[in-house]
Amino acid sequence: MVLENLEQAAEELEKQELQAQGGVASPDVFAKLLAIYLLQNDLCNAKLLWKRIPQSVKAQNLEIGKIWTVGKAMWLRDSPGVFSALSSTQWSDEIAPIMAALVDKVRERCLGLVSQAYTSVTLETLSKLLGVNPSEAAAVAQKNGWNVEDKLVYPVKPVPQPKILTSTEQQLHILTNFVSFLEN
pLDDT in tens, the chain (184 residues): 456 688 898 999 989 988 888 878 888 999 999 999 999 999 999 999 999 999 999 998 999 999 999 999 999 999 999 999 999 999 999 999 999 999 999 999 999 999 999 899 999 999 999 999 999 999 999 999 999 998 899 998 887 777 777 788 888 888 898 888 888 7
Q: Report d(CA 26, CA 20) in Å as an integer.
A: 8
Residue pair 123/148 in contact (Cβ under 8 Å)? The answer is yes
What's the pLDDT score for residue 165?
A: 72
What's the pLDDT score for residue 1?
A: 44
Residue pair 130/146 in contact (Cβ under 8 Å)? The answer is no
Cβ contacts of 102 within 8 Å, gap of 6 or more: 35, 38, 39, 70, 86
What's the pLDDT score for residue 169?
A: 85
What is the DSSP secondary-structure string of the chain?
-GGG-HHHHHHHHHHHHHT-GGG---HHHHHHHHHHHHHTT-HHHHHHHHHHS-HHHHHH-HHHHHHHHHHHHHHTT-HHHHHHHHHTS---TTTHHHHHHHHHHHHHHHHHHHHHH-S-EEHHHHHHHHTS-HHHHHHHHHHTT-EEETTEEEPPPPPPPPP-PPPHHHHHHHHHHHHHHHH-
Residue pair 123/151 in contact (Cβ under 8 Å)? The answer is yes
pTM: 0.80
